[in-house]
Structure 1
Amino acid sequence: MYTPTRDEVADIYYGVGVLDFEDHEAACTHDRRKAIAALNAFHRHYCSERLVDIDIVPERDMKTGWARFEDRSDGQWTVGSDADDPGAFPVTWLRL
């Protein structure tokens, strides 16, 4: 299992890396409590709002999965992955 480095994530909260995308975010963990805490702290810092302020319901808006980084001609992308991929790491996706 791969562990993203500090340079590969937007920020780290409570030891959990957070990835930031145009229409969603992800915490690099399958631990729901840690994911919620990290994503909430990220949102408070960068957006000045809590997840509850934007009507995020974890059971509805979050799901766990696996991701990996993929180098492309237009930069590095984060893509969904199977757990057995050597570059895979756990994520909890947050759809905004």
Structure 2
Amino acid sequence: MEGSPRMINIIKFVNARRQVIFIPSKNRVKLPVLQYLAAKTEPERDYTEREVTALLSGWLSGPDPDVARRLLIDEGLLARTIDGARYWRRPFDENWSIH
């Protein structure tokens, strides 16, 4: 269908344990990898910075969880209060697949 987002297979960016081993720099592929990580958070749940970092640490094998957390904020997949005390997942359309 014309105009629909293409599914991106992120398999080459995860290991056998489905942990992200690399966050690409190209937005076309970076966004699906970040969406994959954001999908590990529960919708409608508030997290502390420490909880987000701990959760990401379990799903990352290589990338720094602090960097991943900032990228998730920058791409609008996670939101946070101005003081950084509370984080939550923002709605997004998933356009990634993993096989």
- TM-score normalized with structure 1 length: 0.29
| Larger RCO (CA within 8 A; separation ≥ 6) | 2
- TM-score normalized with structure 2 length: 0.29
More strand by share: 1
More helix by share: 2
